[in-house]
Amino acid sequence: MISSLEILKKYWGFSNFRPLQNEIITAVLNEKDVIALLPTGGGKSICFQVPALVNNGICLVISPLIALMKDQVENLTKKGIKATMLPSGTSQDELITLFDNIKFGGVKFLYISPERLQSFFIQQKIKELNINLVAIDEAHCISEWGHDFRPSYRNIKVLKELKPDVNFIALTATANQKVLADISKNLLLKDPITFKKSFFRENLAYQIFTVEDKLQRLLQIFTKTKKPAIVYVNSRKKTEQIANFLNANNFKSSFYHAGLSSIEKNISFNNWMTEKTPIIVATNAFGMGIDKPNVGLVIHLDLPSSIENYVQETGRAGRSGLKSFAVLLYNKSDILLFKDRLKKTLLTIKEIKEIHKKLYQHFRISIGEITEESYNFNILDFSKKYNFSVLKVDAAIKLFSNNGIIEIGNNYNKKSTLQFIVKSKTVLNYLDKNQIIKGFTNSILRTYAGLFEQEVKIDEFFIAKKTGLTAKLVIANLQHLQKEGIVNYNAIKSDAEITFLIPREDDYTINRFSKEMKQFIHQKKQKSEDLIQFINNNTVCRSKQILNYFDEIKTDNCGICDVCIANKQQNLKNTSSQIILLLKKEHALSSAEISAALTANEKDILIHLRQLLTDDKIKINHLNKYQLNL
C-alpha cells in the first residue's frame, strides 16, 4: 500500500505535512471519526484527500458551495485524479448514467451538496457505491450557532444509516466549542477525535483604523508595503473601480469576483499568483483553496459580514511565517450603512411566507405539485412583479436554498456582457442611417464606460428603466446590433436557474422550517453586533478579542495590533513624563537610580532616555548622569 507521505509527494509535491495534518490523516486511516478545526491556510482538503487516495474506493464529499466544489474538482482533475460533482438540474436518466460512470470509471471523489443528498433516489445510488470515507466540508453549517447555518446539513447523518461502517471527517475553519459539540451530535459521530489548531497568529498584525479618505490611505499603505496583497470590497463593481484606481497610481492590480467568466478569473488569479499584478481587489468570492504563502497584506475597504468571515479572509496573509498585516479601514458612514443594510435584509416569517408563496405562484406550480424541471428566474423581474425589496428576495432565495426548499443553479447574479466591435466613427455613421435605434444606443454609451475597449457587464433591466423600454425590447435591440455586426452581446438568460426540491405547501412548508429560520435571522443579527463591537473595542488586544470569540484563553497581548501599539505609545509617553518629573525633583540621576526610583526595568528605561535625548528634553552631564536640558 502506498503511504500517505508518498501520496503527498506524488500529487502535491510536498515533502512534509503541515502541523496536525499527519495526525488527522493517521486517525482517518485508522477508521476513526474525526473533527478537524484548522483555521484558514491550515490545509483542510489534504486531510481527507490524502487518506481517500491511500484506500480503495470513493470519497464522498459534502460541500455547501457549487463554486467550491467546481474548484476542487478542477484542481484534482489537473493532478490526474478522477473527481466529479452532481450538477444541478440533472434528470433521473442523466443521474443513472453519471452514477454508472462513477461506479465503473475509477472516480475517487464525488462532490455533492447537502440539498441533493435529501433525494431518496440519490441516497440509493450512493448506497451502491464503494465509499471509503465521508468528508463534510464547512461543517460549522450544521450548527444553529455557526455563522452559516444550513438545516440541510442536519440530514447528512442519513449516511450513517446508508454506510454504517464508513468513518466521517468533519472539517471547518471557524467554530467555537458549542459548534464543535453540535457537529459531533448532529452527525452521529462515534467517539470522534477532535484536532484543533489555535486561532492565534503571532506574525499577523490586526490593525483597524478610522479614516475618512480610504483611497488616500490605500496609496500610503502600498507606497510603504511592497508585499503581495488582497484588497476586499463588498461589490463586484467596486473591485474593478479600486483596481483601476490603483493602476492609475502605478500599483499593478487586477480584480476578481464571482461574476467573471472562468477565463477572466484564471487570468486575474494567475497574474496575481505570478505577481505580474501583486495586488488583487476582490469580493469574498476570492480566497477559497488558494495557497500563496507570501501574501503580506490583507486590506478590508468594506466591513466583512462577521468575525468568522474576517478571520477567514485575513488568514490568507502571513502563511510564510513572516510578519504580515490585516488592515481594516472604516468610518462612521460604514457602520451606519452596515446597520442599514442588515435592517433591509433581515426578514420576518410573514415576509418569508409571502415570498415563498409567490415564488411557486410565479412559475404556476399548483398546491401539492412537485416538478423535476428547472426554471429560469430573474430576481429583478420577480421583485418588480410582486413589489418586493430585491435585497429581501435575495435573502429569502438563499434561505430557501439553505433549507433545502430549492436549489440555485450556477447563473445566480451573473450579468450579460456587451462590447462594441467596430470603431466609434463607424458606430456614428451607422446611427445616422438608423435613427430608430440611435437614442437607445447613445443611452448605453453614456451609461457604461469602456465599451470599445473590452467586454463590459450590463444589466438589461437597468437599461430598460433608463430608456423607458421593456426588458424584452432592450434585448431585441441588442440582438439587432449584434446581427448588424456593431456589438458582441453575450446574454445571460436569467439571474438564476431554480429547481424546486419539495412540493408546494405554502405556509405549511415555512412553518416546518420556521424555528431554524428564526434562529438563522437571530444569529445573523447577533454576529453583526459582535463584529461592530470588535471594531469599536480599541482597549483590548485584537488577538485576545478574536481568541476569546472562539473560546480560546490567552493572557499575553500580541504586541503588534493597533491596540497594543497604541498602548505601547501611551506607556512610552507616561514613562517619559515620569522621568522628567523625577529629574526636576532630583536634578541629576544615573539610569540605575532612575530605574530604582520608578521600579522599572533598566533596559526599558534606557529606551525612554534615548528618546528624551533625541528630543533634546534631557542631557548627560560631566558625571555621566542624566539631567533636564534647561
What pLDDT shows up at residue 515?
A: 87
Within a domain: 433: yes
Based on the fold, state whether residues 190 and 84 are members of the same structural domain: yes
Based on the fold, state whether residues 62 and 192 are members of the same structural domain: yes
Based on the fold, state whether residues 77 and 172 are members of the same structural domain: yes
Within a domain: 147: yes
Considering the chain, what percentage of its residues have pLDDT values greater than 90? Answer: 50
Domain's final residue, options 290, 309, 330:
330
Considering the chain, what percentage of its residues have pLDDT values greater than 70? Answer: 96
Q: The C-alpha cell of 375 is what?
A: 426554471
Based on the fold, state whether residues 123 and 272 are members of the same structural domain: no
Of the listed ranges 56-65, 331-340, 366-375, the one predicted with least confidence: 366-375
Within a domain: 323: yes
Based on the fold, state whether residues 36 and 176 are members of the same structural domain: yes
* 253-310 pLDDT tens trace: 999 987 777 788 888 988 999 999 999 999 987 876 677 889 999 999 999 989 988 9
In degrees and rounded to multiples of 5, residue 78 shows phi and psi of: -60, -30
Based on the fold, state whether residues 461 and 596 are members of the same structural domain: no
Within a domain: 209: yes
* 496-530 pLDDT tens trace: 778 888 999 999 999 998 988 888 888 889 889 99
* 578-618 pLDDT tens trace: 888 888 888 888 888 888 888 667 777 888 888 888 888 88
Nearest Cα neighbor of 579 from 569, 589, 565, 566 is: 589
Which of 39-48, 90-99, 173-182, 248-257 is the most confident on average? 248-257
Based on the fold, state whether residues 449 and 480 are members of the same structural domain: yes
Within a domain: 523: no
Within a domain: 352: no
| Structural domains counted in the chain | 4
Report the distance separating Cα 39 and Cα 168, nearest Å. 19
CATH, residue 72: 3.40.50.300
* 378-395 pLDDT tens trace: 888 899 999 999 889 989
Contacts of 515 (CB under 8 A, 6+ apart): none
* 182-221 pLDDT tens trace: 999 999 999 999 999 888 999 999 999 999 999 999 999 9
What pLDDT shows up at residue 574?
A: 73
Based on the fold, state whether residues 168 and 208 are members of the same structural domain: no
Within a domain: 79: yes
CATH, residue 567: 1.10.10.10
Q: Is 314's pLDDT higher than 70?
A: yes
Of the listed ranges 161-170, 328-337, 409-418, 549-558, the one predicted with least confidence: 409-418
Mean pLDDT of 531-543: 95
Domain's final residue, options 474, 490, 506:
490
Based on the fold, state whether residues 217 and 284 are members of the same structural domain: yes
78 or 87, which is more confident? Answer: 78
Within a domain: 276: yes
Edge-to-edge strand ranges of the sheet holding 374-377: 374-377, 496-500, 406-408
b vs e for 17-50, b when ≥16 Cβ sit within 10 Å of the residue's Cβ?
beebbbebbebbbeebbbbbbbbbbbbbbbbbbb
Based on the fold, state whether residues 8 and 119 are members of the same structural domain: yes
* 406-446 pLDDT tens trace: 887 655 556 788 999 999 899 999 999 888 899 999 999 98
Report the distance separating Cα 426 and Cα 291, nearest Å. 47
Average pLDDT score, the chain = 88
Mean pLDDT of 62-68: 81
Based on the fold, state whether residues 161 and 264 are members of the same structural domain: no
What pLDDT shows up at residue 245?
A: 96
Domain's final residue, options 196, 215, 230:
196
Q: Is the dihedral of CA 481, 485, 486, 490 positive or negative?
A: positive
What pLDDT shows up at residue 108?
A: 96
Report the distance separating Cα 440 and Cα 533, nearest Å. 49
Report the distance separating Cα 520 and Cα 514, nearest Å. 10
Based on the fold, state whether residues 171 and 278 are members of the same structural domain: no
Report the distance separating Cα 398 and Cα 520, nearest Å. 12
Structural domain boundaries, residue 301: 204-330
Name the 3-class secondary structure at 499. strand
Mean pLDDT of 41-50: 88
